[in-house]
Amino acid sequence: MSTVAPAGPVTPVTAPKPAPVKAFAVLGGLILGLFGYVLIRWVTSPAFAPSPVGPDPIPPATLVLIRVTEVFCGTLILVFLWRLLIKPWIRDRKAPWDGLLMLALFTMWIQDPMCNYFNFTFSYNAYFVNMGSWASFLPGWQSPRGSNLPEPIFLMGGIYLWFTTMNVIAFSWAMRKLRVWLPRMSTLGHVPIAYVVIVLMDFALELPACRLGLFAYPGAPHGLTLWAGEYYQFPIYENIFMNFNYLSIGLLRFFRNDRGESFAERGIGTLGLSTKLRTAVRFLALVGFCNLSYFVVYFMPYNWMAMQADTFPRYPSYMRYEICGQGTPYACPSREVPVPSRGTLAPVGPDDPRLSPTARQN
């Protein structure tokens, strides 16, 4: 007579947890593919040319400052690439996490012109080394003459490489120090304090740059703007939204697991990839997360505010580069001017008699 052993406890079969890395890597690949297509169209078009500076002369001191700034930013590009990417990769023979993050942050530069997606509210000095911008080739672009916006090659190439990385690292550093300095406070309490740190860092860069004429926020809602009506006016919400992005990515960096993986990379070990492919997928995942964060927490709310712009101070031609004002069919944004688009058949011109002298000053 055979006996059947009693069955042991049944271990429930649990479904595998979804791997965020797959979704973020696919998103990152789509973003790089789209932006590669946009850049090719731009580079092979007549729009690939320096932005027009117009007839207004630039003060010699401002021009010298522009060249010094370009050298400074270009030098920091080399320093950050060496310190965060090349040197540790050679030393450890594997891609450093901060180096991959830095390159992922750099890819956010492709979204930079989107401040002017619907309305002309942000400008760089056209005397920076530039070849215009790829703005008009972005899907669905609305505002007229978007590609006249000069994207400063050395200035913004540097800002999107080293300054974004510095802000994210500063946020993580502040979070780590706050755990030591304020151990009884919860993480939820640490976050806003660390956020204030990077807000102040951003103010320290942008306010002097606006004062010195390196770039400007010409179109803004009067009630939400510091020094409204002056050429160096600064919309408060710009700093708030921008640093929400650094906060988001800073939290991604801070809350990595014991394998050094961020949330965007979770599940990479389940894919059975070689070391090189794993590095590529991790990078794509970081690209996807950074660009998604930038678009959602910065560009979406910023562009909503841009549609409310009612204050546009007087600017020289090298800050307007034939996008609006004298010599163009378009009046510059104000409370009296409907937001134009590339398809507007009869835009309000800069000399329209219905406009007040203030609205016709550019």
* Radius of gyration in angstroms for the set of CA atoms belonging to the chain, rounded to a whole number: 24
> Residue 188 is inside which H or E element, if any?
helix 187-211
pLDDT confidence of residue 98: 97
pLDDT confidence of residue 361: 80
pLDDT confidence of residue 210: 97
Render 55-97 in DSSP notation, one character per residue: SSPPPHHHHHHHHHHHHHHHHHHHHHIIIIIIHHHHHHSS--H
Is the CB of residue 281 less than 8 Å from the CB of residue 90?
A: no
Cα 82 to Cα 75, 76, 161, 214: the distances in Å are: 11, 10, 12, 27
Tokens for 288, please give them: 């996807």
pLDDT confidence of residue 28: 98
pLDDT confidence of residue 16: 53
At 108 the three-state DSSP class reads helix
pLDDT per residue rounded down to tens, the chain (362 residues): 445 555 545 555 454 566 899 999 999 999 999 999 999 999 999 999 999 999 999 999 999 999 999 999 999 999 999 999 999 999 999 999 999 999 999 999 999 999 999 999 999 999 999 999 999 999 999 999 999 999 999 999 999 999 999 999 999 999 999 999 999 999 999 999 999 999 999 999 999 999 999 999 999 999 999 999 999 999 999 999 999 999 999 999 999 998 889 999 999 988 888 989 999 999 999 999 999 999 999 999 999 999 898 889 999 999 999 999 888 888 888 888 877 666 665 688 888 888 888 778 88
Is the CB of residue 115 less than 8 Å from the CB of residue 305?
A: no
pLDDT confidence of residue 18: 61
pLDDT confidence of residue 13: 47
Cα 264 to Cα 21, 80, 283, 290: the distances in Å are: 5, 23, 10, 10
At 10 the three-state DSSP class reads coil
Tokens for 105, please give them: 């942050």
pLDDT confidence of residue 6: 53
Cα 145 to Cα 130, 141, 322: the distances in Å are: 16, 10, 8
Cα 291 to Cα 35, 158, 172, 230, 298: the distances in Å are: 11, 17, 19, 32, 10
Q: What's the whole-model pTM score?
A: 0.92
